[in-house]
Chains A and B, each alone.
Chain A
């Protein structure tokens, strides 16, 4: 018998593939290919959903 709540589970959206930016250990933040901080590209952040509540839930349950 499965837990009751599982009747309402649905497949999670797959995590977006993030290859538009990479971590810079000198700056201690992620940067775009041109070296600018990734957070300056707000359209990109919104598109990959990196900072949204459900995206975080994929790896951390307390979003």
Chain B
């Protein structure tokens, strides 16, 4: 039985898991949907009630019924590397590939429907609340007046992208940013805006959940620091033991979200409370493993290579 990894060639975080699968002797195929058609190929046929097919790339072939698990890591857009790429070809290729893979009995990290829902930030916040996490007050609105009232009520609020996607061309980044007290909210009418009560944090927490295994890391924040991803503070990620209450909430969240993998971001306040900020179903873990030496890649490999319910 084979592990299928959907990712691009440049993904060295995937390399960390590939190396662990090699160490375990687990067969794997690394496949970039961007290479289909071309370097990658597929064929599937439906005959008399049976659906059979296979994928091939780089001289490797894997049959649909030979798949143990599928890791959706950093797949390219289907047909992105085709000689004449087009939105139509990407749609056709994506339908063929994922439609075929959805017919298998393989375990997914993460199942695509669950992943799509788990990306929705309003859904994340509600699910986090129901899981038992403290969640900062948040508003998503296109009403400037509502935004102004929210800012007046909480005084210190941050703005962040609803989707997490950075603004387009030229390449831009949108760090979570403290909104000035004299901000003009009239432009809120131009697009849904997410405002959240600012949590004065003493540390950033990244908790990576792999199945039932949890790896939490803590990085001390500078006073007034808002987005820990931007700006080098000189602090490093250190392993930290998650409180029992957080463990229970993570387990509940993963169950409600139907996720096999999730990267949780928390803000730790001065009292030591971990405030839920988001759970990224495809979040990076390489930078955490590099600094903490927590065996996250090995845990991912272990999950992918495990027999599971389908053997």
Interface status of B190 (Cβ within 8 A of chain A): yes
Residues of B close to A37: CB separation below 8 A: 15, 19
Residues of B close to A53: CB separation below 8 A: 229, 283-284, 287
| Interfacial residues of chain A within 14-56, with CB under 8 A of chain B in the complex | 14, 18, 21, 23, 25-30, 37-39, 42, 45-46, 50-54, 56
Closest to A51 in B: B286
A63-B9 in contact (CB<8A): no
A45-B286 in contact (CB<8A): yes
B12-A30 in contact (CB<8A): yes
| Interfacial residues of chain B within 89-120, with CB under 8 A of chain A in the complex | 119
Residues of B close to A50: CB separation below 8 A: 10, 12-13, 286
Residues of B close to A60: CB separation below 8 A: 74, 282
Q: How far is the CA of A56 from the CA of B11 in the complex (A)?
A: 9
Closest to B10 in A: A18
Tell me the smallest distance from the CB of A32 to a CB of chain B, in Å: 11
Q: Beyond A1-B187, A1-B190, is A62–B281 a contact (Cβ under 8 Å)?
A: yes
Residues of B close to A4: CB separation below 8 A: 147, 159, 185, 187-188, 190-191, 193
Residues of A close to B160: CB separation below 8 A: 5
Secondary structure call for the B interface? mixed
Q: Mark B179-218, 1 if CB is under 8 A from A, else 0.
A: 1000001111111011000000000000000000000000
Q: How far is the CA of A10 from the CA of B227 in the complex (A)?
A: 13
Tell me the smallest distance from the CB of B193 to a CB of chain A, in Å: 5
Identify which of B62-70, B167-175, B238-246 touches chain A: B167-175
Q: How far is the CA of A16 from the CA of B74 in the complex (A)?
A: 18
Closest to A44 in B: B12
Q: How far is the CA of A26 from the CA of B59 in the complex (A)?
A: 9
Closest to B172 in A: A9
B189-A1 in contact (CB<8A): yes
Q: How far is the CA of A61 from the CA of B168 in the complex (A)?
A: 11
Residues of A close to B229: CB separation below 8 A: 53-54, 57
Residues of chain A having any CB pair with chain B under 8 Å:
1-14, 18, 21, 23, 25-30, 37-39, 42, 45-46, 50-54, 56-63
What are some 21 contacts across the A-B interface (CB < 8 A)?
A: A4-B147, A4-B190, A5-B160, A5-B194, A9-B172, A9-B174, A10-B175, A12-B172, A18-B10, A23-B10, A27-B22, A28-B18, A29-B30, A46-B290, A50-B13, A51-B13, A56-B13, A56-B74, A58-B171, A62-B119, A63-B284
